[in-house]
Structure 1
Amino acid sequence: MKRSLTLNSGAEMPIIGLGTYKLGLIEASQAVSYAIDAGYRHFDCAWFYGNEYNVGYAIREKIKQGVVKREDIFVTTKLWNNYHDKDRVIPMLKESVRNIKVGYVDLFLMHWPFGFKEIEPLWPLDEGEEAYSDVDYLETWEGMEEGVSMGLAKSIGVSNFNEEQLERLLENCKIKPAVNQIEVNPNMNQKKLIQFCKERDVMVTGYCPLGRKEYAGSPGFPDPTILDPKVIEIGKKYNKTAAQVILNYLVSLGISVIPKSVNKERIIENFDIFDFELSEEDVAYLDSCNKNQRVCTMDEFKTHKYYSF
C-alpha cells in the first residue's frame, strides 16, 4: 500500500496525517510530538483552530533534535471565512507562516467556499445573513495563487467544495487546486466526489474519517462506524481495531486521511494500517455503511449563496 500521493503540483502528500481541530495548545504540541515519533509526516492545521504556533513548535523541536528535516514534513493550513477578500489572503497566509515558523506551508487551503465579513465574529451564529460576505471564491483563489508565486505555500487547494464549485474554479484558475479536503468516513464515503476529483487530477483528503464518537446517540446524528459491532468483528480477523479497519478502507479509496487524537497509543495505532488488506466481502460491508449523512453540516450557514452542501 502506498504511503503518499503525488499532487498535481509535484509535491508528495503523506497518506496519513494528524488532524488538530479542537486540540488545546499543550495537547497540540504533545500530539504532534507523539505523531512524529510514530512516523507521521503530515500535519493538518488551520488559522481558525488557534493552535498553529503549537503545531509548529513541536515540529521545530523535532527538527532541532535531528529526528526529521523540514523537507520531510508536510504542513497544511487554511484560510478562514472572514478573510476571503483578495487583498486579505496574503496577509493571513503570512500570519500562518509566522505562527508555524517552519519557513513556508506545504499546502494552503480555502477552508470553505463561503465567506463572512471581516468585521463579523469568526463563527457568526447570531448575526444571520448580515454577517455574510458576497466575495466570490474565484477572487479569493487569485489571492491564494499569489501565495505560491511568493513561495509562502508550495501547493494550494480547497476544502468543502462541491462538484459544481470545483468545476467552476478549475475553469477560471491559473493554478489548479491540488487538493479538495472533504468529510469522508464510511457513513459518508463520498465515492462520487472522490471520482470527480480524481478525473480532474485533484487529490482528496478526508477529514472526520472516524466520525465523531462523542456525538454518538445524538438525535439526527449518524452513529460512527467505529462503534459498529460488525466492524469490530472484522478488526479481530486481522488483529486490528475498528479504527484501523476504517482507515485502511478509506485509504484504499485513493485518498489521504487526517484522524485526530491526543492519545499516544491511538496516534500510533492510527498510523499502523499499511500491513493488511481487507477482503472483498469486508470492503462490501463497509461500502454498505454509506448513508450520505454528514458529521459536519454547517447548516447554520445554508442560506449563503456559496454554501456547498
Structure 2
Amino acid sequence: MRILCSKAALDAHYYDQTCPQAEKIIQENVRNASIYDPKVPARILRMFFHDCFIRGCDASVLLDSTPQNKAEKDGPPNISLRSFYVIDDAKMKLEHACPRTVSCADTIAIAARDVVAMSGGPFWNVLKGRKDGRVSRTAETINLPAPTFNVSQLIQSFARRGLGVKDLVALSGGHTLGFSHCSSFEARLRNFSSVHDIDPSMNTEFAGMLRKKCPKPNKDRSAGQFLDPTTSTFDNNYFKQVVAGKGVFGSDQALLGDYRTRWIVESFARDQSLFFREFAVSMVKLGRVGVTENGEVRLKCRLVN
C-alpha cells in the first residue's frame, strides 16, 4: 500500500475569505479541552499520525463503524485512540460559524499543530484545503508502524508515504507527549530472547522500573509508562532518553542502534531548536500525504454526508 505526498493544491490561506475565524475556533476549542484533560495534546497528535498513515490525511480515522463496515478507529492499533470529542466539538462550532466549509481533515491538521505549540513546541503554518474521505476500513490499520518495528521496517513504512529517514526520526520525537500501556513494550522486559531476559539495548535500571509498573500477571489494564517521563512539555527530552537507553518502545530504542538514524537522534538530543525546525518541516510533509481533492466536507466528522 503506497500513499505518496499529494500534488493537491494546499494553501496556508485557504480559508482566509470563506472562514477567516477557522483557526481561532479550533485553537480555543483545543486549548479548553487540554486544560480540562492534560492527555488531550498527546491524543490529538497521535490521531493525526494515525489518520495520515492509513489512507492519507483525509479524516478517515474519525469515521464511526456501521453495521456494514468496521472502521479504522476499531482496528487493534486504534482502539486506544481517544479524545475524538475534541474534533467533534470544534467541527460543530465551525459548522455554526461557516457551514459546509472547513473539512474534518483540515480540523485535525490544525489541531495537531495547536497541541504541539501549546505544549511548548514549534509553530508552523498549516497548509489547508484537504477534503474528507468516504472510506475507512479496520483491515487497513495493519499498515501503521508497530512499536516493535526495527529501523529497516520503519524506513520502509515511512518511504511508502513519501517520507524520508529524517522525517522518521523527527516525527518519532512526537513521542515526547505520548503514553503507552504495558502491552506495547512488555515483551522487552521478560524472556526477550533465548540469550537475554531483558532487551539488551535497554538501560537496566529503567527496565527494572518498568517491570514494577508492568508486573506479571498484570490486572491493571491502565498501567503503563510515559514515553518521555522527564517533562510534560514538547521538547527534545525524548531523544535524550533514547540516547540513555531509556526508549520505551523497541522502535524508539532501535533508532539509536542503527547507523542510518543514530546521528539524527544524537543531533536532536544535543540541539532542541534543530529538532523543532525539522519536526515542523516533517509535519508539513506528513500533512500532504495522500490528500484527496475529490472528497467531501463532512457535516459531522463521524459520518459521511
> When the two structures are superposed, what TM-score results if normalisation uses the length of structure 2?
0.26
Which structure features the higher share of helix residues?
A: 2
> When the two structures are superposed, what TM-score results if normalisation uses the length of structure 1?
0.26
Which structure features the higher share of strand residues?
A: 1
The structure with higher relative contact order (CA 8 Å, sep 6+) is 2
